[in-house]
Structure 1
Amino acid sequence: MIRIIATFTVRPDAVEEFTAKAIQLVAGSRAEPGNISYELLRARGDATTLTFLEAWADDAAIEAHNNSAHFTTLIPQLIALSDGDPAIVQYEPA
């Protein structure tokens, strides 16, 4: 299993719009083959820090996800609502 943590720093004026679009990304991603879990979290005490916690079966599932219509449509929109690019780290069991 591969886990991904993707953290976005969202512009304060765009948090509501970002969250609405992120919820669409979560729904589409959860329906994909190879997805184990996909969550959107907000930092306690900082409404502008939103993080996706993902778990995928393998690299093929991640590649399919990264090429999916909802991902390629929504991620550029989420980045446009953010202050810079997201911090994305992939993890595997130690």
Structure 2
Amino acid sequence: MIVTIAKQVIKPACFNRYHALAKELAEASRAEAGCVDYRSVQREDDRRVHLFIECWKDQNAIDLHCATGHFTRIVPQFAEMFDADELVTRYQVIV
């Protein structure tokens, strides 16, 4: 299993739009066959900081996800809402 964590710092003026798109993306992604879990979370002490925490069965599932209509439509819209560079880190589940 592969875990991807994408850290994003969102401009406060964009919170409502970002949250609506994040909800749509997470719900559609969780319905994908290779998705184990897909969550969007917001830091409690700094509401600008958000994480996407994604768990995928394998690399093929990630590749299929990145080609879906919801991913290719929604993800590019996030960039204009960032207040800092996005940081994406991948992990291999060992236990």
Structure 2: gaps of 5 or more residues: none
Name 1:67's counterpart in structure 2.
67
**Identity within the alignment, %:** 32
Structure 1 runs, 4 residues or longer, greater than 3 Å off:
none
Distance 1:86 1:20 in 2: 19
Per the normalisation by structure 1, the TM-score is: 0.94
Find the counterpart in structure 1 of residue 26 from structure 2.
26
| SS in structure 2 of the partner of residue 83 of structure 1 | coil
Q: Which residue matches 1:9?
A: 9
Distance 1:79 1:57 in 2: 27
How far apart are the structure 2 equivalents of 1:49 and 1:75?
Answer: 17
Q: Aligned with 2:32: secondary structure?
A: coil
Count of paired positions: 94
- Coordinate RMSD, CA, aligned: 1.0
Deviation, structure 1 residue 53: 0.6
Gapped runs of 5+ residues in structure 1?
none
Q: What is the letter of the counterpart of residue 79 of structure 1?
A: A
Would you say 1:36 and 2:36 are equivalent positions? yes
TM-score (norm 2): 0.93
